[in-house]
């Protein structure tokens, strides 16, 4: 049985992605290169997780509905 991700989880992932973007800008302003790199990896991961769940939601729907 398909379980669609909750809207709350999607909202949380969007929020995490947004906050990481802001943290990355702050780290860049302070020339913290390693921190920028690590935050950037987290930004990418958060985006991929969100897209993966979104795609799973589309696959789980009946196109005839």
Average pLDDT, the chain: 83
CA distances from 60 to 14, 23, 46, 57 (A): 21, 34, 21, 5
pLDDT digits (tens, 9 = 90+) for 50-60: 888 777 765 55
pTM above 0.75, yes or no: no
Q: What is the rounded CA–CA span in Å between residue 18 and residue 25?
A: 11
Q: What percent of the chain has pLDDT over 90?
A: 51
Q: Which residues of the chain are under the pLDDT cut of 70?
A: 1-6, 57-65
């Amino acid at each position: 049985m398909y379980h669609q991700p909750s809207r709350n989880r999607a909202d949380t992932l969007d929020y995490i992605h947004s906050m990481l973007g802001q943290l990355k800008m702050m780290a860049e302003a302070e020339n913290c290169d390693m921190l920028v790199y690590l935050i950037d990896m987290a930004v990418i991961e958060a985006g991929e997780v969100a897209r993966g769940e979104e795609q799973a939601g589309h696959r789980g729907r009946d196109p005839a509905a």
